[in-house]
Amino acid sequence: MDRIIDITELALRDAHQSLIATRLGVDDMVPVCEDLDQAGYWSIECWGGATYDACIRFLNEDPWVRLRTFKELMPKTPLQMLLRGQNLLGYRHYQDEVVDRFVQKSAENGIDVFRIFDALNDLRNLERSVQAVKRCGKHAQVAISYTISPIHTTEKFVDQARRLVDMGCDSICIKDMAALIKPHAAYELVKGIKEACGDRIRIQLHAHATSGVTMVSYMKAVEAGVDGVDTAVSSMSLGPGHNPTESFAEMLENTGYTTRIDLARVHKVKEHFAKVLPRYSEFLSTVTGAETEIFRSQIPGGMLSNMESQLKQQGAGDRMHEVLKEIPLVRKDTGYVPLVTPTSQIVGTQAVLNVLMGRYKVLTGEFADLMLGYYGLPPGERNPEVVEQARRHAKKEPIDCRPADLLEPEWGKLRAAALPLEGCDGSDEDVLTYALFPQVAAKFFATRHEGPRNLGRDPVTGASETSVPEGHPGKIT
Amino acid sequence: MDRIIDITELALRDAHQSLIATRLGVDDMVPVCEDLDQAGYWSIECWGGATYDACIRFLNEDPWVRLRTFKELMPKTPLQMLLRGQNLLGYRHYQDEVVDRFVQKSAENGIDVFRIFDALNDLRNLERSVQAVKRCGKHAQVAISYTISPIHTTEKFVDQARRLVDMGCDSICIKDMAALIKPHAAYELVKGIKEACGDRIRIQLHAHATSGVTMVSYMKAVEAGVDGVDTAVSSMSLGPGHNPTESFAEMLENTGYTTRIDLARVHKVKEHFAKVLPRYSEFLSTVTGAETEIFRSQIPGGMLSNMESQLKQQGAGDRMHEVLKEIPLVRKDTGYVPLVTPTSQIVGTQAVLNVLMGRYKVLTGEFADLMLGYYGLPPGERNPEVVEQARRHAKKEPIDCRPADLLEPEWGKLRAAALPLEGCDGSDEDVLTYALFPQVAAKFFATRHEGPRNLGRDPVTGASETSVPEGHPGKIT
Ligand SMILES: [Co+2]
Ligand SMILES: [Co+2]
């Protein structure tokens, strides 16, 4: 009997976050929910990551309503979200009570699988949310942020996995947001975790397709015993996105592995998004084809374009070459942090400053915080001289405690600030929206009654949607 | 020591044929020739296929001048062409003397590796050109047109390979133009051929990327002992094109296999085409992402859009569904021909007619010829009733000889017809151009003095090229 490989479908979250800047409106997702729910996925990732922010910032859409809509339309398949540990979906650390409440409300509104990660792989930033998920009786999947560096050996990641299992996670995700994991490395890592943690621990591999190698890494991970992989329906795949669901299912033919995927259902989903995506062409990522420079530069695509525009603003567009050389040095000084949000921006901006002003002559507040432990403990040794410069610059002492331990209880304050806002409905969900994005929330509460705004446009005429598509839960403006 | 996997680079031929309808002008290739030549490829495919036709039809460019330019700029790496056996680069069978002369002139002008294939895998359509290549002291690589059908087993293809080796080919190419070859199938086929023909026979795998599975098939082919694979530089890859060169080289890390590719050189080529490709956006294939429907429908992407427009012209755009069901039946009746040029068009058009007029009520001349053996011997048994209908319809008897055996010597006639044409320079090369595309050649000879026409346009302003780029061998109009 073929071994079953489970599939998590990314179309409703990471795929459109990667391909069209998270702009997909719920009315463009509703028509495929039934097919997705019946297609045999292990889980459907549909919430969290940048979607919460995008909902209230761009789409005038209540993310909690979106989640309840999904739950109603997809009652069968576990719904999954991506959660940034102690940061939740925002850009700072939250006090534990806020974490607890956010997780509880997410579970109540429909999330079954919580995928939790931390940019620094600092377990202390993950613990509280894992506990909260387990208290709700939901699935706590903890992700290891995958990266490559002189200190990031297979052994180190296996060790991390071992500690995640001890922490009580229900499954482990290897999260390769930059498409760095090569076939042999994937094989070794999956094999290593299975050997260290026992065959029973569930391993999921999440890789982007950007570098063009990760479909092969999926095959090798399967051979090494991976339990599931993340894919996106073909019409929402590749480029900075993910490997295609249908291709993954097809490629297993006669290999001794198979999936539970109903390709006829997936085909309908594919056809739908093939029609929808051109309506979002203004947001379409310009990264297409494969991009292998990251193996040399360590720099994810999005980070590169950020730095280019920073340099141009300073009239130093010709100094990119120096910045590219500076980044690995700065990253080394930080203790080889994985370059993902927010560390990619922090390291990139500091490298630009180093080139323009002299090395560490000027530090950003965020870089100082990173060096001083305010984001958590980096994977490797930090350069003590740079830590000292950060201390003097920021006039703060380095910390080695869990950053959130420094926070005072804040739920009451957040609630008090949110409730008087025009349009705030007084629910915990609204308080959480305010907690995550205070300014944006205030504007959103005031305009929420106008209903969701669909940003799709007719690809030929450029006209916005004017009529409400069938099954649409709100008004289009 | 790692085993070396050889790479054939497709950027200058199949990649732009697949991605931008063969429109790339030579002046957009010249700037990367030195880097390509120094990058460590086993061969550089740069001529043949549809490029000859496109040169004289769209670019006012002499294909022979293009070839000599390549040879001058890439003296080190073997140059490769794709040749359709007895069809050469045209759309009919040619008499043997024309085949001999074409091969000889191609060798003289710079081709080192001839990749020769036949749509029906009929060896008799390949023999003459293989002999001609060997007489020139060049490398004769014979391709097996890969397809899937109830009769196309690994064994059948291995048998074909055995006969190709007996025929004296220097290497074997598995040619998967529709991206049908799955990982396990690739493994079995390469292994099977090596076992049947001996380890010393060189095997090259050519697969397109369309279905999203073939990069994995490349890995499995490597594990099975393949000697080389075909790839295209990343900025000219994926979609209906090929797997990216850089990704292939990168993915082999620590696998026990490696390439000779100098990635710094390839990177320069990539950057060049990343700039060039947007200038050809009007020709850009709309197929992006992955397309796995072919595993079910057997129908390559290009064929599908052809049939759709045929149906629409007949006011029957809503009957595509019936045609899709008809195609496998028609294909079965032909003896399961692989669906490539020209058989894909022949089978597709007949399926449309069957749906519109009743099954085999009307036959095209080409379909009748196919059924009667005038294209060669199909892989399987033809339906005798349909053969009989073809006989009656075409008023021709079925043949079982080699189709080219029916042809009278024609070189003298072709030469006599070509020489008086305005602008014909009297060379054998010009006679061959006339032989392949008589009407187009006549127009081309008359306008050739105006020099190559570059079809690229400024992606922002839409303006055509006005100045001659450095290193350009001709004039731009
Ligand atoms: Co991701
Ligand atoms: Co091809």
Cβ–Cβ gap B254/A216 under 8 Å: no
- Cβ–Cβ of B235/A289 closer than 8 Å? yes
Q: Which residues of A touch B (CB under 8 A)?
A: 182-185, 211-213, 215-220, 234-238, 243-244, 246-247, 250-251, 253-255, 263, 267, 288-293, 295
Q: Which of B217, B220, B250 has its CB closest to that of A213?
A: B250
pLDDT above 60 for A425: yes
- For residue A468, the model assigns a pLDDT of 43
B370 vs chain A: nearest CA distance in angstroms? 32
Q: Which of A216, A235, A255 sits opposite B215 (nearest CB)?
A: A216
Instruction: Identify residue B79 by its one-letter amino acid code.
Output: L
Taking an 8 Å cut-off on Cβ atoms, the answer to whether A292 and B244 are in contact is yes
pLDDT digit string, tens, across residues A371-419: 999 999 999 999 999 999 999 999 999 999 999 999 999 999 999 999 9
CA–CA distance, B264 with B39 (Å, rounded to integer)? 8
Between the CA of B242 and the centroid of ligand 2 the distance, in Å, is: 8
Q: pLDDT of chain B along its 477 residues, tens only?
A: 899 999 999 999 999 999 998 999 999 999 999 999 999 999 999 999 999 999 999 999 999 999 999 999 999 999 999 999 999 999 899 999 999 999 999 999 999 999 999 999 999 999 999 999 999 999 999 999 999 999 999 999 999 999 999 999 999 999 998 999 999 999 999 999 999 999 889 999 999 999 999 999 999 999 999 999 999 999 999 988 999 999 999 999 999 999 999 999 999 999 999 999 999 988 887 666 788 988 887 777 667 777 788 888 888 888 888 988 899 999 999 999 998 878 988 999 999 999 999 999 999 999 999 999 999 999 999 999 999 999 999 999 999 999 999 999 999 999 999 999 999 999 999 999 999 999 999 999 999 999 999 999 988 888 875 444 444 443 333
Q: How far is CA B331 from the centre of its chain?
A: 21
Residue of B292, B296, B324 to mutate for A, most A C-beta atoms under 10 A: B292
**How far is residue A331's CA from residue A339's CA, in Å, rounded to a whole number?**
8
Ligand nearest the Cα atom of residue A175: 1
Residues of chain B found within 8 Å of residue A212, distances taken between Cβ atoms: 215, 234, 237-238, 243-244, 246-247, 250-251
- Test A237 with B288 for CB contact under 8 angstroms: no
For residue range A194-234, what is the model confidence (pLDDT) as tens digits?
A: 999 998 899 999 999 999 999 999 999 999 999 999 999 99
Cβ-contact A464, A20 below 8 angstroms:
no
ipTM of the complex: 0.93
Structure confidence at residue A301 as a pLDDT band (50, 70, 90)? low
Cβ of B238 within 8 Å of Cβ of A184? The answer is no
A69-76 own/partner pairs: CB under 8 Å, 24+ apart: A69/A26, A69/A30, A69/A473, A70/A12, A70/A29, A70/A33, A70/A44, A70/A46, A70/A110, A71/A109, A71/A110, A73/A30, A73/A33, A73/A34, A73/A37, A74/A33, A74/A34, A74/A36, A74/A37, A74/A44, A74/A46, A75/A37, A76/A37, A76/A38
**Helices of type H across B74-151:** 96-109, 127-135
Q: What is the pLDDT of residue B465?
A: 59
Q: Which residues surround ligand 2, an ion (CB under 5 A)?
A: B 14, 177
Would the pLDDT of A45 be above 80?
A: yes
CB of B292 within 8 A of CB of A251?
A: no
Residue B126 DSSP one-character state: T
B260: tokens are 């000779």
Residue of B nearest to A256 (CA): B184
Ligand nearest to the CA of B15: 2
- Chain A residue with Cα closest to B288: A235
Stated as kind and residue range, the H or E segment containing A446 is helix A438-447
Inter-chain touch A238–B290, beta carbons under 8 Å: yes
The first and second tokens of residue B392, run together, are 């009656």
The rounded Å distance from CA A364 to ligand 1 centre is 27
Beta bridge partners of A9: A44, A231
Task: Find the ligand nearest to B143 CA.
Answer: 2
Distance from the A239 Cα atom to the nearest Cα atom in chain B, whole angstroms: 8
In B110-213, which residue ranges form alpha helices assigned H by DSSP? 127-135, 154-167, 183-197
Whether residues B289 and A237 touch (CB distance < 8 A) is answered with yes
**Half-sphere CA count of A78, side-chain side, radius 13 A:** 16
A217 neighbourhood in chain B, CB within 8 Å: 251
A302 pLDDT tier (thresholds 50, 70, 90): low
Mutate to test the interface with A, among B215, B255, B285 (most CBs of A within 10 A): B215
A-chain residues within 8 Å CB-CB of B237? 212, 289-290
The CA distance from A251 to B183, in Å, is 6
Burial of B44 (0-12, 13-18, 19+ CB in 10 A): buried
- Give B247 to chain A, closest Cα distance, Å: 5
Q: Enumerate the residues of chain B whose CB falls inside 8 A of the CB of residue A289.
A: 234-238, 244
CA of A208 to the centre of ligand 1 (A): 6
Q: Which two tokens stand for residue B219?
A: 């890995």
Query: In chain B, what residues touch A184 (CB-CB under 8 Å)?
Result: 253-255
DSSP A283-342: G--S--S---THHHH---HHHHHHHHHHHHHTT-GGGHHHHHHHHHHHHHHTT-----TT
Q: Compute the distance from residue B190 Cα to the ligand 2 centre, in Å.
A: 18
So what's the pLDDT on residue A285?
76
List the structure tokens of A103.
């997780």
pLDDT, average across residues A241-248? 97
Question: What average pLDDT does this structure show over A455-459?
Answer: 89
Q: Give the pLDDT mean for A254-273.
A: 97
Q: Is the pLDDT of residue A461 over 90?
A: no
- pLDDT, residue B301, reads 64
List the domains of chain B with CATH numbers.
Answer: 3-283 (3.20.20.70), 294-404 (1.10.472.90)
Chain Cα centroid distance, residue A471: 28
d(C-alpha A206, C-alpha A230), whole Å? 5
Nearest to B212 among A215, A220, A291 (CB): A215
Ligand nearest to the CA of A205: 1
What is the structure's pLDDT at A470? 45
Is 80 exceeded by the pLDDT of residue A306? Answer: no
In chain B, which residues have their Cβ closer than 8 Å to the Cβ of A250?
182, 211-213, 292, 295
Residues of A in contact with B304 (CB under 8 A): none
- Report chain B residues whose CB lies below 8 A from the CB of A251: 182-183, 212-213, 216-217
pLDDT higher than threshold 50 for residue A74:
yes
Contact between A194 and A202 (Cβ < 8 Å):
no
